[in-house]
Amino acid sequence: MPPPKPIAELPITGYLDRFSHRPGETFQVRVSVRDGGQARARLVRVISGDPNPAGPGLRFEDLAHRLDLTFAGRRQPIRLGSHAVVPRAPRREAGPCTWTALVWLAAAPQAEATVICETDGDTVARLAIGRDGVTGIVTGAQNAVAVATGKAPALRRWHRLWLSADPGTGRVAVGCVPFEGGAASVATAVVQGLRVPSGGGRIAIAADGASPAGGHLTGKIEDPALLAGYRDAWAHPDATLATLAPELLAGWDFSRDIPTQRIVDVGPQACDGHLVNIPARAVVGARWSGAEMCWRHAPADYAAIHFHADDLGDCGWQTDFTFEVPADLPSGAYAFHLTCAAGEDWLPFYVLPPRGQARASVVFLASTFTYQAYANHARGNADAAYKARVAAWGAYPHNPDDYPIYGRSTYNKHPDGSGIAFSSRLRPILTMRPGFLTFNDARGSGLRHYPADTHLLAWLEAKDIAFDIVTDEDLHEEGADLLKPYRVVLTGSHPEYHTPQTLDALTAYTRDGGRMMYLGGNGFYWRIAVTQTLPGVMELRRAEGGIRAWAAEPGEYYHQTDGGYGGLWRRNRRPPQMLAGVGFSGQGLFEGTHYRLLPAARDPKHAWIFEGVEGETFGDYGLSGGGAAGFELDRADFTLGTPEGAAILARSEDPPSSFVTVPEELLSHIATVSGEKVDELKRAEIVLFGTPGGGAVFATGSITWCGSLWKDGAFDGPVSRIMENVLRRFAVA
């Protein structure tokens, strides 16, 4: 059998301690140079991240006079796979011992995967699942024995697995029995000179205990335990840790401390442990009754952890250099340009203004939670045509399809088909790079998220409109006070993912007199959780409703980190229309169409918005799908919270044939929540409304809007003119 193909790594890459800092604060920069050798880092300001030769191009301002250094590069490893580590195994007298756990699999392991492993010097006991079924391996200094049932557990059913060994008699048994009862599969052997661990060593759960860990299991585990005594049968596979207490040497109750990365041993020696790479907790266990859907109300029903062989939390790399933000460095978008003999990379970041200050009346709110949700989204579209365009345009050359080592996005699935619910920013993020192409766009550039939002930043620069930048994470941490110094907040093209704190802050800001320009589509859509106990990590449960890349299992809709109900903000009774006036309604391929003015646009109260715009339609062009109203569209709905008195100024028409109405709008294939016809909901609407506190919101209702700020070789045309009219009016005190 040939050796496994090495997992590809970039020649040079890295990540930062966070996406943003203020003057006087310090970025920690972690870099890996695949082949070692000298590396260089220079500071640049990011002006435009669109490599399309028909667009503004990749544009950077060289700030090497601020930072230009060389350093000794070294390869820093990434270790995928979640598991639990118990640093101190329970001590006991020499004698028979049993290692056991309840296990649930949705897919058969492709290679032997460990359930529980105890290592004590050169003595190892390991319970595993592989092609030979359930396997027990006991290894000592003089001999080793492997016993296998030959039959794998049935998928999507809970089973009791165990390994038992008695050094006095040399007997070894391994078994598997359905949790709800049924025939057991048991294999036994007798070994001369058998040795078993006697405690004081180390235990790993869902990995083999080696350093670095291997043999990762993708599946759920509940009630892992070590028991005194030998058994080659299991009369009560549904036995709890409490009922096993007389024999319990150690037992880890995963229903305890669910929001944490700690696992609690309820045995007599309190051999607590910790989790690595953030497996999923708050998942239904073997005893889930369905009577409660929230783990906080019935923790015993959620006494399982779902481990995955491809989970990735903090890479844990060492810092290679630091950068203290100079006091006079303006707020803006920047990047560290990394180079080595074999290649280059960019590590983007944002500089905020000094705390409590504003250097402009306008602030751009970077959608970093959304960038993180899509981080390293492997779409499977990096084909020959895509790569040919990347090469021809000099675009960012690397695609996540080719680099699974850096982890996947919340739009991807684990090997067993379960959805990826966590995304960390403490790892290289290939999709968050200047020049990264998401699509091979036939009518435009194919940009999304971070590089797509540079269309707006480059437009602001071209129009000589001063602006500061803050991020979602900053807003989550600091609330509405972060926005108070500004007259206008601008969103990017896709502010999709939000916490309760970010929505509260934006709501308070507009309520109290602030003006917001929502310049995207499918915004304020999914509820996420972040917590100080897991810095840099966001959690997402794709609960009922919405267009979803995967669906959370029934009973697993509540976040483990904050206990909140996950899923759509609409399902949390906070539809996007309540904040932005419009909400998600239609979606299609990455292509767009135009808008048509409605009568309200000619009302003297609103005519200033369209001053200089000729004709009744506009926006049938652009760098994102060839149209200002495209890909994902938002519309007003007064029953969902669009404020009374909001003016609907323009509406998209002639949606491309690829567009569909989103599922949360449908009651059946012909009936909708609003009562409108299904096809009529595939529209974007431009909306303007005021708030009682003197604030205002202008919303464009389309992801591709900012791509149409560029027209015929310049930031010009009707979309640009509308934007400038609104922004300059909003920015006036």
Q: 439-473 pLDDT, tens per residue?
A: 999 999 999 999 999 999 999 999 999 999 999 99
Mean pLDDT calculated for residue range 226-245: 95
Q: Which of 86, 446, 10 lies closest to 250, judged by CA?
A: 86
In this structure, what DSSP letter does residue 326 have?
P
Query: Which pLDDT value is given to residue 141?
Result: 67
Query: Which pLDDT value is given to residue 544?
Result: 87
Q: Say if residue 265's pLDDT is above 80.
A: yes
Domain limit, last residue, from 292, 307, 322: 307
Same domain as 403, residue 294 = no
What does the alpha-carbon distance between residue 343 and residue 341 come to, in Å, rounded to a whole number?
6
Same domain as 376, residue 254 = no
Residue 575 within any structural domain of the chain = yes
Q: Say if residue 627's pLDDT is above 80.
A: yes
Residue 22 within any structural domain of the chain = no
Same domain as 303, residue 375 = no
What does the alpha-carbon distance between residue 44 and residue 336 come to, in Å, rounded to a whole number?
6
Same domain as 502, residue 596 = yes
Question: Contact at 8 Å (CB) between 631 and 521?
Answer: yes
Q: Give the CA distances from residue 235 to residues 180, 181, 183, in Å, rounded to whole numbers and listed in that order.
A: 11, 9, 11
Q: Does the N-terminal peptide bond of residue 434 adopt cis geometry, omega within 30 degrees of 0?
A: no
Query: Which pLDDT value is given to residue 733?
Result: 62
Q: Structure tokens of 452?
A: 């797509």
What does the alpha-carbon distance between residue 650 and residue 301 come to, in Å, rounded to a whole number?
51
Q: Say if residue 4's pLDDT is above 90.
A: no
Q: Residue 659 contacts by C-beta under 8 Å, 6 or more apart in sequence?
A: 586, 587, 588, 633, 682
Query: Which pLDDT value is given to residue 1?
Result: 36
Query: Which pLDDT value is given to residue 401?
Result: 97
What does the alpha-carbon distance between residue 559 and residue 529 come to, in Å, rounded to a whole number?
7
Same domain as 161, residue 102 = yes
Same domain as 630, residue 488 = yes
Q: Say if residue 290's pLDDT is above 90.
A: yes
Query: Which pLDDT value is given to residue 3?
Result: 45
Query: Which pLDDT value is given to residue 94?
Result: 87
What does the alpha-carbon distance between residue 412 and residue 666 come to, in Å, rounded to a whole number?
25
Same domain as 568, residue 711 = yes
In this structure, what DSSP letter does residue 721 have?
H
Terminal Cα-to-Cα distance of the chain (whole angstroms): 72
Domain count, the chain: 2
Q: Structure tokens of 295?
A: 């783990």
Instruction: Report the CATH number at residue 227.
Output: 2.60.120.200
Q: Say if residue 303's pLDDT is above 60.
A: yes
- What value does the mean pLDDT of the chain take? 96
**pLDDT tens digits, 127-156:** 999 999 999 999 986 788 999 999 999 999
Q: Which amino acid is at 282?
A: A
Residue 49 within any structural domain of the chain = no
Cβ-based neighbour number of residue 390 at 10 Å: 21
What does the alpha-carbon distance between residue 556 and residue 283 come to, in Å, rounded to a whole number?
5
- Mapped onto helix, strand or coil, the DSSP state of residue 400 is helix
Query: Which pLDDT value is given to residue 89?
Result: 97
Same domain as 177, residue 301 = yes
The burial of 639, by beta-carbon neighbours within 10 Å (0-12 exposed, 13-18 middle, 19 or more buried), is given as exposed
In this structure, what DSSP letter does residue 329 have?
P
- Buried/exposed code over 293-331 (b: 16+ C-beta within 10 A; e: otherwise): bbbeebbebbbbbbbbbbbbbbbebeebbebebeeebbb
Q: Which of 89, 88, 82, 129 lies closest to 226, judged by CA?
A: 89
Mean pLDDT calculated for residue range 47-71: 98
Question: Contact at 8 Å (CB) between 620 and 439?
Answer: no
Q: How many separate helices (H) and strands (E) can be counted in the chain? A: 7, 43
pTM of the model: 0.97
Q: Say if residue 173's pLDDT is above 70.
A: yes
Which residues sit opposite 203 in a β-bridge?
86, 118
What does the alpha-carbon distance between residue 158 and residue 236 come to, in Å, rounded to a whole number?
13
Same domain as 294, residue 245 = yes
Instruction: Report the CATH number at residue 441.
Output: 3.40.50.880
**pLDDT tens digits, 398-445:** 999 999 999 999 999 999 999 999 999 999 999 999 999 999 999 999
Residue 538, φ and ψ in degrees, nearest 5: -120, 145
Give the CA count within 13 Å in the CB-facing half-sphere of 638: 7
Q: Structure tokens of 696?
A: 């205002």
What does the alpha-carbon distance between residue 260 and residue 134 come to, in Å, rounded to a whole number?
30
What does the alpha-carbon distance between residue 532 and residue 529 come to, in Å, rounded to a whole number?
10
- Mapped onto helix, strand or coil, the DSSP state of residue 690 is strand
Q: Say if residue 251's pLDDT is above 50.
A: yes
Residue 20 within any structural domain of the chain = no
What does the alpha-carbon distance between residue 101 and residue 161 come to, in Å, rounded to a whole number?
6
Residue 557 within any structural domain of the chain = yes
Q: Structure tokens of 723?
A: 């934007």
In this structure, what DSSP letter does residue 301 have?
G
Residue 570 within any structural domain of the chain = yes
Q: Rounded to an integer, what is the distance from CA 292 to the centroid of its chain?
A: 27
Query: Which pLDDT value is given to residue 716?
Result: 97
Run of H or E residues at 79: none
Same domain as 677, residue 586 = yes
Q: Say if residue 635's pLDDT is above 90.
A: yes
Mean pLDDT calculated for residue range 696-721: 98
Same domain as 282, residue 357 = no
Same domain as 369, residue 292 = no
Residue 32 within any structural domain of the chain = no
Residue 413 within any structural domain of the chain = yes
- Mapped onto helix, strand or coil, the DSSP state of residue 62 is strand
**pLDDT tens digits, 472-489:** 999 999 999 999 999 999
Query: Which pLDDT value is given to residue 5?
Result: 56
Domain that holds residue 486: 333-730
**pLDDT tens digits, 610-624:** 999 999 999 999 999
Q: Give the CA distances from residue 587 to residues 263, 374, 439, 583, in Å, rounded to whole numbers and listed in that order.
A: 42, 17, 16, 12
Question: Contact at 8 Å (CB) between 625 and 704?
Answer: yes
Q: Say if residue 6's pLDDT is above 80.
A: no
